[in-house]
Structure 1
């Protein structure tokens, strides 16, 4: 178990996810998603927290939405770090599992808050969700492997040790 390596790998994964998301915005000229802010607003309301009104409230919603995403990404990495070393899958399977876990950790709370409904997404929306999470999963798996690999030992590329 290595919680620190899991958190550090997840931080790298979050950076990759954000980079791919912002590149998508640049390439397609799409605006930032309002979904995280809407979910943050719903969750704050359910918790009895008043975010206020006007521009400051909008900024609080946006910031809280981003923080919820970071919390989900870090949580997935920390949970991955809890896996015993002999139970950790080969790198490609780890990357896939981390991708799916990050999508679930990010999308399920948004859907539960009523901010989005993945059943109604078109292909472009799915691709816009999958690609950043895939970047997260790959990056988190590779960085975790590099951080926890015994010195002088080659990395696990395609096979289990």
Structure 2
């Protein structure tokens, strides 16, 4: 199996782990899902001139596009990791996992901040934990799965 394919598979499993962690947190705390991905999708569509329609159809497309962007980020970080790891020695998951989590977090939070959908500087500790913990789970899972696939 090629390193990029391994990275994609590892990123896919990491993304599932991130989603399970996020939805588990929502279930335990009774909190609503974030509307940030939907807002990012809406603003990106506006910037590139894509018409998402009107009313309920627009809302549904924004939600789907926001979710799609999350999967692209998770798979993209995994694929990039596969490319970077090609030919290098074994790195322990505990060491590289937080870096992969930070990369995935930056991949979702940086565009949201750049589009002025959110301002991480204004987040409270609970908001940070709701973002950091699932991304850390993503990174550790992605690194562990990649290591197993090697």
The alignment's TM-score, normalised by the length of structure 2, stands at 0.95
Q: Alpha-carbon deviation of 1:87?
A: 5.4
Q: Distance in 1 between matches of 2:88 and 2:8?
A: 19
Q: Alpha-carbon deviation of 1:93?
A: 1.4
Q: Alpha-carbon deviation of 1:92?
A: 1.4
Q: Determine which of 125, 139, 148 is the counterpart of 1:137.
A: 139
Could you say what the CA RMSD is over the residues aligned between the two structures, in angstroms?
A: 1.1
- Counterpart check, 1:81 vs 2:82: yes
- Counterpart check, 1:63 vs 2:64: yes
Q: Distance in 2 between matches of 1:88 and 1:46?
A: 42
Q: Deviations over 1:9-47 (max 9, x none)?
A: 000000000000000110111111100000100000000
- Counterpart check, 1:40 vs 2:34: no
Higher helix proportion: 2
Q: Distance in 1 between matches of 2:92 and 2:127?
A: 29
Structure whose CA Rg is larger: 1
- SS of the residue 2:32 aligns to: coil
Question: Which runs of 5 or more residues in structure 2 are unaligned?
Answer: none
Between the two proteins, the alignment pairs up a number of residues equal to 148
Q: Deviations over 1:120-150 (max 9, x none)?
A: 10000000001110110011000000001xx
Q: Distance in 2 between matches of 1:94 and 1:112?
A: 26
Question: Which runs of 5 or more residues in structure 1 are unaligned?
Answer: 149-161
The alignment's TM-score, normalised by the length of structure 1, stands at 0.88
